[in-house]
Structure 1
């Protein structure tokens, strides 16, 4: 089986399949995929037993290691039965994909000799594949995802956690469609197996930033571990006033004011130990806590808050709580690590109550969630299908190693 690289008006070169050339071909194919900022140009179509990809800008003629650099208009032809099984990833993964291509070629060669083709061993689940048919009526597989698992993103200010989920889902849906996969919109009740599934591992307030664990595909099934798992935060409170939202959300109003001038660093350090360990905490009115089947923030924003509404306290775990700074009182900053379900805004409020004052959270950042820390997070501006799948691949390896080390 040969792979042909055609350069119109220049030359046509046929490469026999070898490991080295497979790597070069994969790098070439990946370069072509990004010619129009998409994985697969819209006018790509199967032609017999080949899959033809046209490039409309100068692309490649010279090879340097596994990267091929552009100098002329080029098109690429690969056997369709192999092309649609290749889990294309970003250009820096060309070598890895070439190795996968080599395995697929070996499997196909074995199958052609009358033996059963072995099952794929990559991280694509059966539910993440969609089928289409080429011109000869043969069924081919087009993956809905290029990788499934977990990654962490840095949630920006004024974005809800669900905003981030929707943003990433839309990005991956467009990528899947560009590669030819059939995608069912999330609101549709049909073909659930063809929906791009994305979720998060614990809500961050709109005014909070930091680590947000995202699950893609079967990674969404792992998110419960992060909802209930440990998290770390850095928060800054402002003494002297308390708002209805316990932060600076524009929808909130100042509901309490109290003196703060008597508060010192020593006083803060004296009360913090009271909040370490297992404590009772009343969730904020503006929170995702459910009461009578409704989320509290929905009740609060509706303006129909029952005067007799009782928000019951709950037990939470505070593993560590340290004072970072009080250099600019009435502001003070703390670092804390806690279990799932802890409200940092409530903690800031309760610390102030113990100091005979009131306080509101003016800065909140999640610095860690499980093994994910801020340095591991993808910024919103860096999010692409390419970087998302690269992070998932990387974390699949890291998490597997952490699991093995824990045994």
Structure 2
């Protein structure tokens, strides 16, 4: 069971990370559960070895002793002698989630860890639901942060919020074209633009490809954000900046990832499913889809005529908001 089970563990799978749990602890928990499953398999029958054992001679009235050839099991490979067969297993983590965020987290085991790199290189978009609360501002943009300001929000309407979101999406779409480094005169680039497949082929600041309001019931509102190269802190700051544009303040009360590339909530294993058999089944069911999606997206990425990148490197101080993106492009 151990070796056969390990052979089925090469690939990618998704789990649901609950809020309050650090991604490192989640990874270690999954690794521990996989090791338990691999070591819990029924051990192979022990090898037999011929040994000469001293015993009484048959049909002897004088109770004479003799050596008798006997087959006995060897204990060299017994689990109580050699210990567990599997003691370490490398589990890789894809696009991370901070402790306060929840949602889809992609993990890779064995050769699947190399596929995580392919996911990064494909620059796939991710979907979030972000919940905001009007009327107050905190030092870290979170609802439970240190309160720094309270404001009224009676003047805020759904129409005003939708107008702000449209402005954010428009400015980020302009930035998306700039960071994609595409030669827009080529047929390939035109076809990608028509299909909405333009994306940066290098690392960039956070780019929002779509944003809309799902629910508006002041002081609460719920946004759906499609983006790439983001951090959860940047999404919380976005909620803060939306509040400022609405002439009030707002904090973020929840960040939940509902899609990471081609993995959705339907693919994510719950805490009760973080066991060997469930993870093996998840890897097997996603294997063909993962291979097809990665091949398609990487082929799209490298099949386009591109100019040398004018954008900023990933570790440089890039624009951090929708409004900074637009002002940065004007200069």
TM class by shorter chain equals 0.5 to 0.7
Between 1 and 2, higher relative CO (CA 8 Å, sep ≥ 6) is seen in 2
Cα distance in 1 for partners of 2:261, 2:124 equals: 6
Change (3 A) 1:331 1:149: same
Residue matched to 1:96: none
Offset at 1:277?
5.1
Q: Which of the residues 218, 224, 230 maps onto 1:329?
A: 218
Offset at 1:315?
2.9
Q: Secondary structure at the match of 1:223?
A: helix
Whether 1:263 aligns to 2:156 is yes
1:244 touches 1:253 (CA, 8 Å); kept in 2? yes
Cα distance in 2 for partners of 1:225, 1:236 equals: 31
Q: Which has the higher helix share?
A: 2
Q: Secondary structure at the match of 1:153?
A: strand
Residue matched to 2:279: 388
Greater shift after overlay, 226-235 or 163-172? 226-235
Q: Which of the residues 107, 112, 117 maps onto 1:219?
A: 112
1:173 touches 1:183 (CA, 8 Å); kept in 2? yes
Residue matched to 1:316: 206
Q: Which of the residues 115, 122, 135 maps onto 1:240?
A: 135
Residue matched to 2:190: none
Offset at 1:226?
4.0
Residue matched to 2:13: 151
* Alignment coverage as a number of residue pairs: 223
Offset at 1:225?
4.3
Which structure has the greater CA radius of gyration?
A: 2
Aligned pairs for 1:356-395 (under 5 A) are 356-395=247-286
Relative to the length of structure 2, the TM-score reads 0.61
Cα distance in 1 for partners of 2:294, 2:20 equals: 35
Aligned pairs for 1:4-403 (under 5 A) are 87-88=4-5, 143=6, 146-179=8-41, 182-184=85-87, 195-227=88-120, 228-249=123-144, 252-276=145-169, 279=172, 315-326=205-216, 328-342=217-231, 343-403=234-294
Cα distance in 2 for partners of 1:163, 1:377 equals: 17
Cα distance in 2 for partners of 1:370, 1:333 equals: 21
Offset at 1:161?
1.9
Report Cα offsets for 1:139-198 as digits up to 9, x if no partner.
Answer: xxxx4x5321101111112212222211101111222333477444xxxxxxxxxx4111
Can you give the 5+ residue segments of structure 2 that lack an aligned partner in the other structure?
Answer: 44-83, 173-203, 300-331
1:226 touches 1:369 (CA, 8 Å); kept in 2? no
Report Cα offsets for 1:234-289 as digits up to 9, x if no partner.
Answer: 1110011122232235xx3212222222111111011112211565xxxxxxxxxx
Report Cα offsets for 1:48-80 as digits up to 9, x if no partner.
Answer: xxxxxxxxxxxxxxxxxxxxxxxxxxxxxxxxx
Q: Secondary structure at the match of 2:206?
A: strand
Can you give the 5+ residue segments of structure 1 that lack an aligned partner in the other structure?
Answer: 1-38, 41-83, 89-142, 185-194, 280-313
1:234 touches 1:336 (CA, 8 Å); kept in 2? yes
